[in-house]
Amino acid sequence: MTDTHADYQLSQLDQLEAESIHIFREVAAEFEKPVLMFSGGKDSIVMLRLAEKAFYPAKIPFPVLQVDTGYDFPEVLACRDSWVNRLGVRLVVASVEEAIKSGIVVDDGKTSRNRLQIGTLLNAIEEEGFTAAFGGGRRDEEKARAKERVYSHRDDFGQWDPKNQRPELWSLYNGRLHEGEHMRIFPLSNWTELDIWHYIDREQIEIPSIYFSHQRRVFQRDGMLLSESEFNPLRSGESVEERTVRFRTVGDLTLTGCVESDAANTAEIIDEIAIAKVTERGATRGDDRFSEAAMEDRKKEGYF
Amino acid sequence: MTPPETTATDGEVEHQHAIKESADLLRFATAGSVDDGKSTLIGRLLLDSKAIFEDQLESVESTSKSRGYDYTDLALLTDGLRSEREQGITIDVAYRYFATPNRKFIIADTPGHVQYTRNMVTGASTADLGLVLVDARQGLTEQSRRHAVILSLLRVPHLVLAVNKMDLVDFSEDVYNRIHKEFTSFATKLSIPDLEIIPISALLGDNVVTRSEKMPWYSGPTLMHHLEHVHVASDRDLVDVRFPVQYVIRPKSDEFHDYRGYGGQVAGGVLKPGDEVVVLPSGMTSKIAKIDLFDKEIGEAFPPMSVTVHLEDDVDVSRGDMIARVNNAPKPSQDIDAMVCWMTNEPLRPRQKLAIKHTTRTGRAMVKDVQYRLDVNSLHRDQETKELGLNEIGRVQLRTTMPLLCDPYSKNRTTGSFILIDEATGVTVGAGMINSGT
C-alpha cells in the first residue's frame, strides 16, 4: 500500500487526473459507442494513458480512431502502433487519401489536409455510428476553445453551435442525443500545456521522438521551420538546411513547423515551455493563422 | 501607517515562472461587466503571471489598433467567440488558466448582466472562490449584490469583493470604507463563510499583484496574494463518506478473473479498507476489501480522488448506487425540496415532467410546486407566481421516479446538486441545489 495522506491534499495534477478519469468513466457508462480520437500527439497519448487508468485492469472499452492525412510523421505512426499494441485496443484508421478517392472530400489542391480531415472524420463517425468521440483539445489552446464544454454537442451535420451550448454545471454531464447527433468529449479541458508535460514527465509516458531535440533537414516558410519531405515541395527561394529542432505539436507535416531547441528530455522541455513567449499553436501551426477566428470556423464545421 | 506585510512575496510572482508543478489548485469565478473592469483585471492577472504569450498580445494589440482604440483592449483576450468580439460583450462562460509557483488557477469568467444569470450559476458551480468587482465611483450596485447572492446560493465558500478603479477616486480610504461597510452589512443576510474586500486598480495594477503605494491605509493582502494563499483544502467534507458508483470494472480476463471493482469519484469522507459500509438504495452492508488507484492499492481515498473500491461480499452493486457508512448515510428520497435556477425560455411550471441527473443516477422528476421565486437583487420571495422563467431562481418541490441518495447542498455540493433535462430537446434546462429530501 502507498503512503497515507496525512493532510488529505491532492496535488493539482492528481486533481486533474481524477477529473479526467471521472469523465472517461461517465462516457463509457452513458454512451453506446464511444471512440477516442487519436492524433498521435502528446495530448491524445495522455488521453490514452488516462483511459488506461480509468478502466484498469480491464481493457479500454472503446476503440481508437485515427485520421490518416497521408502526411503523418513516421515517428508518430510508430508511437501509435506501440501504444495500440500494448493496450490491446482496436484501431480504426480513417484515411484522407481514401476519402478523396471515394469523393467524400474534394482535394482542390488549395485546401490543406488538416481541413480535409474534417469531412473524413465526420464520415468515419457516421459510418461506424460513434455517439461520443474523445478529443484531446484543451481550453488553454485558443480563444474559441476556452468556451467549449467538456461534453460538446454536435448536430447531425457534425457542427458545433457556440451560441447554443448546453450549460454544464458541477461534474454533472448531460449526454442526451438525438438520432444522428454525437458528442465530442474533452477530458483534458482543464489541462494546460505545462500540465501535460509535467504529467508525461511524472508518468514516464512514451511519446513520439520528434518532440525531443534532433537533427532535421528543414526550410523556412511563412516564418515557420518546416520539415523537408516529398509531400512538401520547395518553392522558389526556399532552401533546405540542417538544424537542431523539435516539434511542439504534431500534425500534418506539410503544415506543422518545428522550433530550434536543444531540449532532449521532458525535464528540459518543461524548462523551455515555462519561458516560452509564443503559444504552441501560434508558433507552429499554419492552420490557425489564416484568420483571427480560424479555429472557431473550423470547430463549427466539425474540427476536433 | 506602514503596510504590515512585506511586498517581496507579492512582487516575486511577476518574475517567476511555474517551472515546478504547481502544488495546488484554485478554481474561481469572476462576475462583472465590461464597465467594472473585469476583463482588464483578468488580463492583468494573466499578463503579470506570464500566462499571456506574445502572439496573443500581438493579436489583441493589432485588433485594438484596427478598431481605432488608443489603448490595448485586454478584454479582447477573454472574449473568444467572434460574435462576442463584434458586440464587445461576454455572453458565455470562458475558462482561463494561469499558474504561479504556489498554485494553478482556473478562472470561470462569466458575464455579469441579469440575462446571463444562468452562465454565472454555471461558472460558480465549480468555484472555490468568487470574485465580484465593483466600480469605486459607483459603489455597490444591484448587479454586484446579485452576484454576491448567486455565489452564496451556489455555496462558493470564499468571496472577494474587489473595489476597482480606486485611481479614479484618488485612492480614497473613505470611499473604500463606505463600500466595505455597506457590503459587510448586506453580506450578513447571505451565507459567505469567508470575505475579503480589496481596493485595487486593475488598470494601473495597484494591489493586484504588487502592493499599492498609493493606499498605505490598506493593510490587507493584494489580490494575487490572497488568491495564492486562501485556504481551500478544508472546504471539502472529510467526515461523511459518499461514494457514488460510476462504473463497474470487470476485466473478465484470465489474469483478473474474479476482479470486480466499483469505479467512482469520492464525493465525501475518507474511505479505508476494513470500513463497514452500506450500499444504497439496497441497504446491504459489507466491508471495504481494498481500494485501487490504477495498479496500486491505497490506504485511504478522499475527495476528489477517482478510485476503484472493492467490497468483501459479493453484493449486487451497480452504477447509480452509493457507498456510505452504516451509521452515516443519506436517506433515499423521492420528494425533493430544492432551489432551482431555470435556464431556458419556456418557463418551469407545476406538473411539468423532466429528466433529472443526480450524481450517477438518472431518472425522471415531476414539478409538484413552485413555492416562491427569489428576487436575486432584493432577496424578496415572490409567492404569487407559480412559474420560473429564464434566469430565474426559485424554491421548487419535485417528486422523482427513483429515490435520490442526496444530502443538503449546504453539506455537500456533489451529493446536493442535480441538473434537469428537457426530455424532448435533450437540453439542460435547470440546475438544482437540494434543501432537503424526504
What's the pLDDT tens digit per position in B61-97? Answer: 777 777 777 666 666 666 655 555 555 555 678 888 8
- For cell 444530502, the residue is B407
What's the Cα-to-Cα distance from B131 to each of A170, B164, B433, rounded to whole Å?
Answer: 18, 12, 21
* Measured distance between the N- and C-terminal CA atoms of chain B, rounded to whole angstroms: 56
Whether residue B281 has a cis bond before it, omega within 30° of 0: yes
Of B24, B304, B360, the CB nearest to A18: B304
Q: Which of residues 107-146 of A touch B (CB under 8 A)?
A: 139-140, 142-146
DSSP assignment string, B151-170: HHHTT-SEEEEEEE-GGGGT
What's the pLDDT tens digit per position in A17-46? Answer: 999 999 999 999 999 999 999 988 999 999
Per-residue model confidence (pLDDT) at position B14 = 33
Per-residue model confidence (pLDDT) at position B8 = 35
Question: Which chain A residue has its CA at the smallest distance from B77's CA?
Answer: A143
Topology (CATH) of A12-194+294-301: Rossmann fold (3.40.50)
Of B94, B253, B421, the CB nearest to A147: B94
More confident position, A108 or A83: A83
Are A2 and B296 within 8 A, CB to CB?
Answer: yes
The number of C-alpha atoms within 13 Å of A134 and in the hemisphere containing its C-beta is: 32
Per-residue model confidence (pLDDT) at position A98 = 82
Whole-angstrom Cα distance, residue A194 to residue A205? 15
Per-residue model confidence (pLDDT) at position B16 = 37
How does the average pLDDT of chain A come out, rounded? Answer: 86
Q: How many A-B residue pairs are in contact by the CB < 8 A criterion? A: 211
Amino acid at A123: N
Residue A6 near chain B (CB below 8 Å): no
Q: Which of residues 281-300 of A touch B (CB under 8 A)?
A: 282-283, 292-293, 296
What residue spans define the domains of chain A? 12-194+294-301, 204-288
Which positions in chain A touch B413 (Cβ < 8 Å)? 170
Of B81, B417, B426, the CB nearest to A144: B81
Residue A189 near chain B (CB below 8 Å): yes
Residues with Cβ within 8 Å of A67's Cβ and at least 6 positions away in sequence, in order, are A37, A39, A93, A94, A95, A96, A117, A120, A121, A124
Question: Which chain B residue has its CA at the smallest distance from A198's CA?
Answer: B21
pLDDT tens by residue, chain B, 438 residues: 333 333 333 333 333 344 566 678 999 999 876 567 887 888 888 877 777 666 677 777 777 777 777 666 666 666 655 555 555 555 678 888 888 888 999 999 887 777 778 889 999 999 999 999 999 999 998 888 889 999 999 999 999 999 999 999 999 999 999 999 999 999 998 989 999 999 999 888 899 988 999 999 999 999 999 999 999 878 888 999 999 999 999 998 888 888 999 999 999 999 999 999 999 999 999 999 999 999 999 999 999 999 999 999 988 899 999 999 999 999 899 999 999 999 999 999 999 999 999 999 999 999 999 999 999 888 899 999 999 999 999 999 999 999 999 999 999 999 999 999 999 999 999 999 999 988
Residue B308 · residue A21 · CB < 8 Å: no
The pLDDT confidence band at residue A290, using thresholds 50, 70 and 90, is: very low
Per-residue model confidence (pLDDT) at position A90 = 95
DSSP A33: S
Which positions in chain A touch B93 (Cβ < 8 Å)? 147
Of B233, B256, B427, the CB nearest to A166: B427
Of B97, B247, B358, the CB nearest to A25: B247
The number of C-alpha atoms within 13 Å of A74 and in the hemisphere containing its C-beta is: 4
Parallel, antiparallel, or unpaired for β A241-246 and B24-32?
A: unpaired
Please tell me the total number of residues recorded for chain B in this structure: 438
DSSP B410: T
Domains, chain B, ordered by start = 8-235 (3.40.50.300), 242-325 (2.40.30.10), 332-437 (2.40.30.10)
Per-residue model confidence (pLDDT) at position B72 = 67
Long-range CB contacts for residues A5-10, cutoff 8 Å, separation at least 24: A5/B300, A5/B302, A7/B233, A8/B233, A8/B236, A8/B238, A8/B270, A8/B300, A8/B302, A9/B24, A9/B233, A10/B302, A10/B304, A10/B305
Are B81 and A163 within 8 A, CB to CB?
Answer: yes
What average pLDDT does this structure show over A255-265? 91
Question: Which chain B residue has its CA at the smallest distance from A178's CA?
Answer: B426
Per-residue model confidence (pLDDT) at position A2 = 45
DSSP B217: T
Burial A216-254 (b: 16+ CB within 10 A, else e): bebbebeebbbbeeeebeeeeeeeeeebebbbbbbbbbb
Burial (CB count within 10 angstroms: exposed 0-12, middle 13-18, buried 19+), residue B188: exposed
Radius of gyration of chain B (CA): 24
Are B304 and A274 within 8 A, CB to CB?
Answer: no
Amino acid at A106: V
Of A2, A169, A171, the CB nearest to B298: A2
Per-residue model confidence (pLDDT) at position A211 = 95
Which positions in chain A touch B293 (Cβ < 8 Å)? 2
Q: Which three cell numbers stand for residue B418?
A: 442535480
Per-residue model confidence (pLDDT) at position B3 = 38
Q: Which of residues 162-181 of A touch B (CB under 8 A)?
A: 162-163, 165-172, 174, 176-178
Tell me which residue of B40, B3, B13 sits closest to B210, measured CA to CA.
Answer: B13
Residue B398 · residue B365 · CB < 8 Å: yes
- For cell 494591489, the residue is B207
Q: Which three cell numbers stand for residue B396?
A: 421548487
Which positions in chain A touch B360 (Cβ < 8 Å)? 26, 29
Q: Name the phi and psi angles at A107, rounded to 5.
A: -90, 100
How far apart are the CA of B93 and the nearest CA of chain A, in angstroms?
6
Per-residue model confidence (pLDDT) at position B31 = 82
Tell me which residue of B245, B280, B270, B281 sits closest to B260, measured CA to CA.
Answer: B245
Which positions in chain A touch B122 (Cβ < 8 Å)? 167-169
What's the pLDDT tens digit per position in A219-242? Answer: 999 888 999 988 888 998 899 999
Burial (CB count within 10 angstroms: exposed 0-12, middle 13-18, buried 19+), residue B82: middle
* Measured distance between the N- and C-terminal CA atoms of chain A, rounded to whole angstroms: 40
Category of B188 on φ-ψ map: left (φ > 0), alpha (ψ -120 to 50) or beta: alpha
Whole-angstrom Cα distance, residue B412 to residue B242? 9
Per-residue model confidence (pLDDT) at position B116 = 79
Q: Which of residues 140-159 of A touch B (CB under 8 A)?
A: 140, 142-147
Per-residue model confidence (pLDDT) at position B278 = 97
Which positions in chain A touch B77 (Cβ < 8 Å)? 143
Per-residue model confidence (pLDDT) at position A278 = 60
Residue A262 near chain B (CB below 8 Å): no
Per-residue model confidence (pLDDT) at position B75 = 66
Task: Please calculate the CA angle B127-B133-B134 and round it to the nearest 5 degrees.
Answer: 155
Burial B190-208 (b: 16+ CB within 10 A, else e): eebeeebbbbbbbbebbbb
Are A176 and B421 within 8 A, CB to CB?
Answer: yes
What average pLDDT does this structure show over A187-200? 94
